[in-house]
Amino acid sequence: MRPSWRPLILFASAAFFACAHDPFPEQMSRKPIRMPKGGQLHCSRALAQPMLEPKRKNILSSSFRRTSQTEALERGRLRGNILLTIRHVGCTKTAQTLAFKLAKNDRSLTKRAYWYRRAGGLIKLLEDKNLSRIVESFTQAAADQPPYGSKIFLDDYQYVQLTLRREGDATYVNIHLGIRL
């Protein structure tokens, strides 16, 4: 009896197409950090740690995977049919990009006050007290309505940026948190 390759080909193609979609194509460069042969990366930042804790009531499931010494990818499913992908990147300058995928939202992307408030509400879903300054900054930004992609400084070292995009029926709310060490 000859082995059938069909199940393996179907599985491989499904895995490829599941991984091929990047929730933030414009956000980050995918250039690897090149090290001299035999060199070690001396990084002032510890290895990235998971941000999502499944024991919180709004986080239904999560997974975390380190992709390199300086990068990690985290995915989660939140209440309200919201998918979240977090990309942890960096060494001396670190960044986290949170890409919330909202299944359906009819609001116009031009309504900046709404989307800054909505971004603060999405951060609140994570139930992390360390992120409260981001919620406050988005509340203020809802009043000021800066253009999307503007750096909103939290202090001398940290800033957040909000970008939005539509893809079919889905709306992606990307929140970029940058930190200089």
Domain ranges of the chain: 50-180
Measured CA to CA, the distance from residue 78 to residue 122 in angstroms comes to 10
Q: What pLDDT is stored for residue 2 in this prediction?
A: 54
Q: What is the 8-class DSSP label of residue 8?
A: H
**Would you give per-residue pLDDT tens digits along the chain (181 residues)?**
455 545 444 444 444 334 444 554 444 444 444 444 444 556 666 778 888 988 899 999 999 999 988 899 999 999 999 999 999 998 767 889 999 999 877 788 999 999 999 999 999 999 988 899 999 999 999 999 999 999 999 998 899 999 999 998 899 999 999 986 5
How far apart CA 178 and CA 90 sit, in angstroms, is 10
| pTM, rounded to two decimals | 0.75
Separation of alpha carbons 19 and 24, rounded Å: 13
- pLDDT (0 to 100) of residue 44: 65
Which distant-in-sequence residues (6+ apart) come within 8 Å of 108 by Cβ?
A: none
Tell me how far apart the alpha carbons of residues 24 and 4 are, in angstroms, rounded to a whole number: 37
Identify whether the C-beta of residue 41 lies closer than 8 Å to the C-beta of residue 69.
yes
How high is the pLDDT of residue 3? Answer: 52
pLDDT at 49: 84
Tokens of 78: 């939140």
Query: CB atoms < 10 A from the CB of 36, how many?
Result: 6
Tokens of residue 37, six digits: 């042969």
Question: Starting at the edge strand that comes first in sequence, how are the strands of the sheet with 93-102 ordered?
Answer: 59-66, 71-78, 82-90, 93-102, 170-180, 158-167, 152-153
